[in-house]
Amino acid sequence: MLFNKKHIYLRSPLRISFVGGGTDLESFYEKGVPGHVISSTTDLYVYVSLKDMFDSNVRVHHSEIETEPITSRIRHIYSKTALEHYGMFKGSEVVITSDVMTTGSGLGASSSMMSALLRGCSEMRGKKIKDNYKLAELTYKLEHEAGNVGGRQDQYAAAFGGLNSITFSKEKIKVTPVKISNPKLKDFEDRLFLIFTNIARASKDIQIQLQDNSRDDNKNYYFENLLNLSYEFLKTLQSKNSKIDDIGRILHEAWLLKKRTNKSSTNPYIDQLYDSLRKKGVTGGKILGAGGGGFFLAFAKDPDIKKKIKYTLYPNFITLDVKFSKKGTELLWKNF
């Protein structure tokens, strides 16, 4: 590849999934009942820089720096998969940074990373992906080629951005923005916060077990109840007559159900953390992503109680306020 000094910089948001996780698995909705999740992207991001190398080497900066003569020898599987898909076998440099870790957070960071890599590679090769549905599906396809397992919600959240209702069926996937008033949205945001459990875990084994459980008729009851709660959650957000306090109750009920869909989603340490949060004024919450570690999402009775809880958790736990973002994977800058 000729050195033409192309350089592009992108970012992709991390997401919070509120209710319905697990019903976005093909193993669930292929049986005929559409899956449904409510999720939102946040102001936490994965950043990706791609540029031409002055020589023919391939260099990838992540938790380490790899320099190889050809892409096939790169160990960072997401970069390798994205570059090879676009025929970028030599002369490329990738730099990946993130506001939190790119694996094990429960915030869909791996999908955000792949989404940004693919959007960037497509621009570099003059094959721009203009449709968010196509970007989400390609991200899902190549993540699975890279060895990932799981549902489709993360890829669609990253591509589209915003607070969305997402339905999944064999025929199609549909992303619909949640219609919520600005005052209610602010109240919603002001009561939410994230707690890092101090555990970063690989989710693959947990996701495999969740897939197996979604095919189990004895556990199907819990998945279907999660599905029903996801629509109740949507109604609570959109209805003018609903109370914002109901969000905590629904999150709590959904967390109890999620633990029944897959016992590996939690452990005694996480359960103890949640019990202590409940005593301090958290009305609902859940572990994010597949579970077992990463970030815990909490919903407090009011913003003042949230502030007090955060002080009691410091310095043993890192806490972050939740701020929603409206944009999905986006190009920040390019020189061509």
Residues 156 and 44 reside in one and the same domain: yes
Residues 23 and 160 reside in one and the same domain: yes
* CA 171, chain centre distance (Å): 23
| Final residue in a domain of this structure, among 158, 178, 198 | 178
Query: What does DSSP assign to residue 321?
Result: E
Residues 136 and 278 reside in one and the same domain: no
Output Rg (C-alpha) for the chain, integer angstroms: 20
According to the model, what pLDDT value does residue 204 have?
Answer: 66
Residues 173 and 186 reside in one and the same domain: no
Residues 103 and 150 reside in one and the same domain: yes
> Is 332 a domain residue?
no
6 phi, psi to nearest 5 deg: -65, 140
CATH number at residue 62: 3.30.230.10
- Roughly what angle, to the nearest 10 degrees, separates helices 182-191 and 303-313? 20
Q: Kindly list the distances between the CA atom of residue 42 and the CA atoms of 109, 157, 170, in Å, as whole numbers in the listed order.
A: 11, 10, 28
| Final residue in a domain of this structure, among 150, 178, 206 | 178
> Is 232 a domain residue?
yes
Give the number of domains in the chain. Answer: 2
Residues 230 and 151 reside in one and the same domain: no
Amino acid type, 233: F
| Final residue in a domain of this structure, among 155, 178, 201 | 178
Check if the beta carbon of residue 151 is closer than 8 Å to that of residue 21.
yes
Which residue is associated with the tokens 């979604």?
A: 214
Per-residue 3-state assignment (H helix, E strand, C coil) for 252-303? HHHHHHHHHHCHHHCCHHHHHHHHHHHHHCEEEEEECCCCCCCEEEEEECCH
Residues 109 and 189 reside in one and the same domain: no
Q: Which domain holds residue 62?
A: 7-178
Residues 44 and 171 reside in one and the same domain: yes
Residues 201 and 158 reside in one and the same domain: no
- Name 44's Cβ contacts closer than 8 Å, sequence gap at least 6: 13, 14, 99, 100, 107, 320
> Is 71 a domain residue?
yes
Closest CA to 13 of 238, 336, 322, 290: 322
Mean pLDDT by 10 residues, the chain (336 residues): 83 98 93 96 98 95 97 98 97 97 92 98 96 98 92 97 97 97 96 94 70 75 94 97 95 95 89 97 95 94 97 96 97 97
Residues 28 and 88 reside in one and the same domain: yes
According to the model, what pLDDT value does residue 276 have?
Answer: 97
Closest CA to 18 of 255, 228, 218, 208: 255
> Is 18 a domain residue?
yes
According to the model, what pLDDT value does residue 148 have?
Answer: 86
164 phi, psi to nearest 5 deg: -130, 155
Distance separating alpha carbons of residues 238 and 232, to the nearest angstrom: 10
According to the model, what pLDDT value does residue 2 have?
Answer: 57
Residues 195 and 162 reside in one and the same domain: no
Coil/strand/helix, residue 83: helix
Residues 32 and 141 reside in one and the same domain: yes
> Is 334 a domain residue?
no
> Is 336 a domain residue?
no
> Is 2 a domain residue?
no
The pTM assigned to this predicted structure is 0.95
> Is 265 a domain residue?
yes
